[in-house]
């Protein structure tokens, strides 16, 4: 069970939140110069690291706002919480995307 610090509402139970998956995914462009392989990578490929993972969360049953979280996927420990427009504060072994 996670206790998640919503940037606007403070610490709340994990039930109130929904995880929206990997964060910082950039849409490639301009569209006419993007190959099928690049689109596939953008749409489907995920970092899925064993360790620190930057992901988007929404306080679905609270304020309804999105934020970013870095969480360790082996321990579930929350390493950082930051705003959607901020860069990831935690370096990762996987480099790209984080």
CA distance 68 to 97: 13
Interface segment toward other proteins; rule CB under 8 A; list 24-32, 40-48, 80-88: 40-48
Listing from the earlier edge strand, what are the strands of the sheet with 66-72? Answer: 18-22, 52-58, 66-72, 78-82
Quote the DSSP letter at residue 72: E
| Binding flag, residue 74, other proteins (CB under 8 A) | yes
Name the token pair of 72: 């360790």
9 binds other proteins (CB under 8 A): no
> 55-64 burial, b if ≥16 CB within 10 A, otherwise e?
bbbbbeebee
Instruction: Please state the closest distance from residue 69 (CB atom) to other proteins, in A.
Output: 9
Which one, 14 or 86, has the nearer CB to other proteins? Answer: 14
Least distance CB 18 / other proteins (angstroms): 7
Binding footprint of other proteins on the chain (CB under 8 A): 1-2, 14-15, 18-19, 21-22, 36-37, 39-41, 43-50, 53, 55, 71, 73-76, 94
């Amino acid at each position: 069970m996670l206790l998640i610090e919503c940037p606007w509402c403070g610490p709340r139970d994990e039930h109130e939140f929904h995880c929206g998956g990997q964060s910082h995914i950039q849409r490639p462009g301009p569209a006419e110069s993007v190959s099928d392989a690049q689109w596939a990578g953008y749409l489907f490929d995920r970092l899925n690291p064993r360790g620190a993972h930057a992901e988007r969360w929404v306080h679905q049953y609270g304020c309804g706002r999105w934020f970013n979280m870095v969480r360790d996927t082996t321990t579930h420990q929350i390493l950082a919480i930051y705003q959607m427009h901020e860069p990831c504060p935690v370096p990762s072994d996987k480099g790209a995307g984080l």
